[in-house]
Structure 1
Amino acid sequence: MRQFQLIYGLLALFLPVSFAFAQEDEPVDYTAKYFQEDKTSQADTTQMDAWDIMNPLFLADSNNVFRSNFGIMRVGDQQYIGFRLQPEFAFGKLGFGLDIPVFFNLDDGKFRSDAFENGAGPFRLFRYIRYGVKKRDPFYAKVGDLTGAYLGYGILINNYTNATSLERRKVGANIDIRVNNFIGLEAMYSDFNFASFNLFGMRPYVRPFGMTDIPIARTFEIGVSYVTDHDQTSTHFSDSVSYASQFLADKGVSAFSADMGVNLVRTPFFNLLGYAQFAKINKIKSQVLADTLEAMAPTHELMADYKSGKGASIGLNAKLNFLGNVLRMDARLERQWYSDYFIPQFFNATYEINKDARILQLTSATNQPGIYGSLYGMILNKVRLGGSLLLPDKYDETNPASVKLNADIINVLDNRLDIRGMYYKGGLADLSDAFELDEQSLAKVSVTYRIFKIFAAGIDYYWTFARQEDGRLDVDHQILPYFGLNIPLYSNKQQTVK
């Protein structure tokens, strides 16, 4: 009962907020516009835009705006002054964003070069380049920041990000290619660091009846996934060398899954998708890991018999469009079963923070069922709120819960105020600690207020754990109050600030 009370709690939290904003502007029927403009999408309704259009991150990747923010940034105990150029452009299906930081230390006046060292180096200037929308367009590709990435229905990779460190940003790629609504391929790669083969996942899939006109049957999809990570990335510091993972350096980790899904109901106002999936995470055959587990076995009995783990789940994903874009909702509920040594959504938002800690968590995970639920709502393309919860039936330190929250509030208060936020917390043995920041937390908040038509003031906040200059994993949080230019590069009557 405790699990379902939490799901109802999420509903109670977001629904009142949704209806509170539902009367702000004259509604536009985006559902009709969607089907008029994209005939391919009309034929492909298996997963439409459940994880992308409803995801607040998609809104952030769909702007035409030039930003130049000047301010003071605090990193650890150091303060810097400078500016950040953050233009974003969207031309039809193509979108890209830049992030160019130019900061100087307030104490010695030196240019802050940390953002261009290690990680992606100079390529960190490109936050993302995107074409199309995943599961809506027959060709989708994104390079750069992969926040929110998933593979298939998410039993192995879900809510993943390769951007856990703002300073050492990684450049990855995510694609979904579909031919004639019959055969397709999803794939993602986390980090184009040629010294190492990093997290990689691929999922070929087929829709056996996709080229027919048979309702429901034409949406039936079968897929298989393979995921592996042989991360040997090393970062050289002044007096030490730090590795992304000691346990993956020799043998790596591998996993596979099989899934199927079908669109059970499809109307312009309501869509219901049902799916089932099975996965296996193979035993990690690392001598370093074996030695570590042997040393820990006397106090962690389960670790002594560490082996491969399996999991399965069935779920429903419902989407509702109410009066065009007045209110859209996306709700997902999934029942999970898994054996010892298996964690659903193992490759998640905190995986890149500390891979070895995540692997140790896997070696002590116990056999039990659980649930995964998510709820997102969008009102008038102005307000998007949502969250997700991964909750074992008996969660504790060996089988922890995780929670994710998103908020996007755009052009409110006479089109002057924007608020964007994302929060993820894993490793929850007690749900009362859900908002306690620690080594398994990611938090990003941005508040912008347009003082005049093109001038704005705001604050950005970022929290994570990351490698420090001496190689340690420690808190990496940045606070950036700023003012500067915020110039929309398109004409939109509803977004004009007087």
Structure 2
Amino acid sequence: MRRIVIFIFIISCTFIHFGATEENNNQNPFGFKFELGLGTETLPIDPKAPLESTNLATYQKLSLKPDISFGKIGVGLDVTVHFNIKPGQDGSDIEVYEPDWIPEKADKTFLELYLPKFAYIRYGQKGDALFAKFGSFDDGTLGNGFIMGNYSNTRFLPETRIFGGALDIDGQFFNFPYLGIETFVGNLAKFDVVGSRLYVRPFAGTEYPLLKHLQVGATVASDTDPLRYASEAFKSAIGTADTVTIAGLDTKLPVLNTPVVSMAAFSDLAFEPKGRWGSMAGVGGKLINMVLYGAQLRLLGPDFIPTYFDGSYDLFRHLKYAALQEDAAGSIYAGWLASIGFSLLSDAIIFQTSLDGPFKAPPSELGSINDYPHLRGVFTIAEGLLAGFSFDALYEKYYLGAPSPVGSGNFWKDLVSQENAVIGAKFNYRTGPAIISLLYNLRYDPQSGDYVVTSSLMSAIQF
């Protein structure tokens, strides 16, 4: 432990000196931030055991987070040591949390354990002609999001960080606007959730103001390990799991782009295993440059699951896979999605919520996950608006209005219940170079029927 602390101290001093030197060199668009943090964090005692309240303990935390950028290129590291100081016969002993460094203790491969030491690596931003990002994601989306939308690989933070990747290349980068591709991998160490979208602009060379921006795309997304986070009992009941592959076609057309209103129209047709299919058409955009809106009408085949790879997919993927094993039953039905929100003060405040579900009444007996409405809301306050405070929050809820034992049978009561919910919040307070952060995550574990709560308290100095 002493060697680790000395090593971190030396690296810290090196980065601080390097950053200060580059800050004085205005000839290069170089950016550097460095964060040295101390705090506490709730982690599983044994990562191989079920993540229940009895398998959680609080550890001290020492972290080193350099963040380097040069133009559109950025790299962030997250080197963290968790430990506890315990009294021993000859004084105090320092117990290092071994799953941070030993793959066997963490029940991970070498890449699973060490790739996440990179918080992120990026080039550009989503929507640029060339965009690449590797690390944590809360917004993994392909096309219109009907197959993969807002996929997140951060659902197991703070105890587990997963390292994913995205690479988008638009032909406009090569002055060839007719073709483009989007790719996404949820976990580069496992390649379990993967997807790609290839699109064309067939009228890019014409002078038609609308049609020249029309995109026609094809998407394929797969999960090679759909029972990855399922309990052993669930795996035994299901048996060997096959790869889930979903494919579809889509269109996207910007219609308006003015300071008063912007609007894009889009449509999708997707196919899931065992003959399941679904389609949708919708619009979305901004009003007076601050009101965010969206609406979709959906025509869905029996037991089709819209946005199969969604924001909380890693928590519910085993339930979705189990639903796919049943033969599709019932009739074609209509569904809907509505979203509303606002973006104020140059995105200093962002709020957006969406609600989707079927038009048909929920079944009297417990049905599948797509028989009930689903809510997702996000809220962000950027630093600088309220003195040194900043805030990020997520609330996602499934099975709204489902009968017992999953729900109460009442939509409004289930809306504020923790059951089948995913709740995340991060509070930050900055005063000068010092930052205090509180991270709180609550998620309902449908396998055990228990709530898993993890939290982290962090104080840091940024240079």
Q: TM-score range by the shorter chain?
A: 0.7 to 0.9
Instruction: Note closer, same or farther for the CA distance 1:407–1:107 as it changes in structure 2 (3 Å cut).
Output: farther
Counterpart of 1:369 in structure 2 is 334
- Does residue 348 (structure 1) correspond to residue 328 (structure 2)? The answer is no
**Residues 228-273 of structure 1, C-alpha deviations (whole Å, 9 max, x = no match):** 222178699xxx9799898595531111111112111123543211
Q: Is the 8 A contact 1:118 1:168 kept in 2?
A: no
**CA distance in structure 1 between the partners assigned to 2:462 and 2:236 by the alignment:** 40
Counterpart of 1:161 in structure 2 is 152
**CA distance in structure 1 between the partners assigned to 2:139 and 2:96 by the alignment:** 32
**CA distance in structure 1 between the partners assigned to 2:234 and 2:72 by the alignment:** 38
Counterpart of 1:482 in structure 2 is 458
Counterpart of 2:429 (choices 439, 445, 449) is 449
- Does residue 401 (structure 1) correspond to residue 368 (structure 2)? The answer is no
Counterpart of 1:258 in structure 2 is 249
**Residues 401-441 of structure 1, C-alpha deviations (whole Å, 9 max, x = no match):** 22111111123466311111222222323343234334x43
Counterpart of 1:231 in structure 2 is 225
Q: Is the 8 A contact 1:174 1:189 kept in 2?
A: yes
Instruction: Note closer, same or farther for the CA distance 1:126–1:443 as it changes in structure 2 (3 Å cut).
Output: farther
**Aligned-residue identity in percent:** 23
**CA distance in structure 2 between the partners assigned to 1:171 and 1:244 by the alignment:** 25
**CA distance in structure 1 between the partners assigned to 2:229 and 2:273 by the alignment:** 28
1:146 CA drift (Å): 2.4
| Aligned pairs for 1:59-458 within 5 A | 65-75=33-43, 76=53, 77-105=56-84, 109-115=94-100, 117-119=106-108, 120-135=112-127, 137-166=128-157, 167-179=159-171, 180-194=176-190, 197-231=191-225, 249-283=240-274, 308-320=275-287, 322=289, 328-362=290-324, 363=326, 367-381=332-346, 382-394=348-360, 396=362, 397-398=367-368, 399-412=371-384, 415-429=387-401, 430-438=411-419, 440-450=420-430, 452-458=431-437
**CA distance in structure 1 between the partners assigned to 2:272 and 2:257 by the alignment:** 34
**CA distance in structure 1 between the partners assigned to 2:70 and 2:139 by the alignment:** 22
Instruction: Note closer, same or farther for the CA distance 1:171–1:247 as it changes in structure 2 (3 Å cut).
Output: farther
Instruction: Note closer, same or farther for the CA distance 1:457–1:144 as it changes in structure 2 (3 Å cut).
Output: closer
1:354 CA drift (Å): 3.9
**Residues 174-214 of structure 1, C-alpha deviations (whole Å, 9 max, x = no match):** 222111221011121222235xx512211111001123332
SS of equivalent to 2:321:
helix
Instruction: Note closer, same or farther for the CA distance 1:255–1:232 as it changes in structure 2 (3 Å cut).
Output: closer
1:279 CA drift (Å): 0.8
1:340 CA drift (Å): 0.9
**CA distance in structure 1 between the partners assigned to 2:412 and 2:98 by the alignment:** 39
Question: Normalised by the size of structure 1, how large is the TM-score?
Answer: 0.69
SS of equivalent to 1:461:
strand
Query: In structure 2, what residue type is equivalent to 1:173?
Result: G
1:314 CA drift (Å): 0.5
Instruction: Note closer, same or farther for the CA distance 1:482–1:188 as it changes in structure 2 (3 Å cut).
Output: closer
Counterpart of 1:464 in structure 2 is 443
Query: In structure 1, what residue type is equivalent to 2:57?
Result: Q
Q: Which fold has the larger relative contact order, with Cα–Cα distance below 8 Å and residues 6 or more apart in sequence?
A: 1
Instruction: Note closer, same or farther for the CA distance 1:200–1:144 as it changes in structure 2 (3 Å cut).
Output: same
Q: Is the 8 A contact 2:238 2:322 kept in 1?
A: no
Counterpart of 1:298 in structure 2 is none
Q: Is the 8 A contact 1:391 1:402 kept in 2?
A: yes
Q: Is the 8 A contact 1:115 1:168 kept in 2?
A: no
SS of equivalent to 1:124:
helix
**Residues 91-123 of structure 1, C-alpha deviations (whole Å, 9 max, x = no match):** 432234333332213668421233553452011
Instruction: Note closer, same or farther for the CA distance 1:200–1:365 as it changes in structure 2 (3 Å cut).
Output: farther
Counterpart of 1:296 in structure 2 is none
Counterpart of 1:30 in structure 2 is none
RMSD: 3.1
Task: Name stretches of at least 5 consecutive residues in structure 2 with no aligned partner.
Answer: 1-30, 44-52, 88-93, 402-410
Q: Is the 8 A contact 1:272 1:319 kept in 2?
A: yes
1:373 CA drift (Å): 2.0
SS of equivalent to 1:428:
coil
* Larger mean Cα displacement after TM superposition, 156-165 or 185-194: 185-194
Instruction: Note closer, same or farther for the CA distance 1:380–1:89 as it changes in structure 2 (3 Å cut).
Output: farther
Task: Name stretches of at least 5 consecutive residues in structure 1 with no aligned partner.
Answer: 1-62, 284-307, 323-327, 488-498
Query: In structure 1, what residue type is equivalent to 2:221?
Result: V
Query: In structure 2, what residue type is equivalent to 1:257?
Result: G
**CA distance in structure 1 between the partners assigned to 2:390 and 2:42 by the alignment:** 22
**CA distance in structure 2 between the partners assigned to 1:149 and 1:345 by the alignment:** 12
**CA distance in structure 2 between the partners assigned to 1:401 and 1:248 by the alignment:** 29
**CA distance in structure 2 between the partners assigned to 1:331 and 1:64 by the alignment:** 36
Q: Is the 8 A contact 1:232 1:243 kept in 2?
A: no
1:139 CA drift (Å): 1.1
Q: Count how many residue pairs are aligned between Structure 1 and Structure 2.
A: 385
**CA distance in structure 1 between the partners assigned to 2:412 and 2:100 by the alignment:** 35
Q: Is the 8 A contact 1:156 1:344 kept in 2?
A: yes
Instruction: Note closer, same or farther for the CA distance 1:115–1:336 as it changes in structure 2 (3 Å cut).
Output: farther
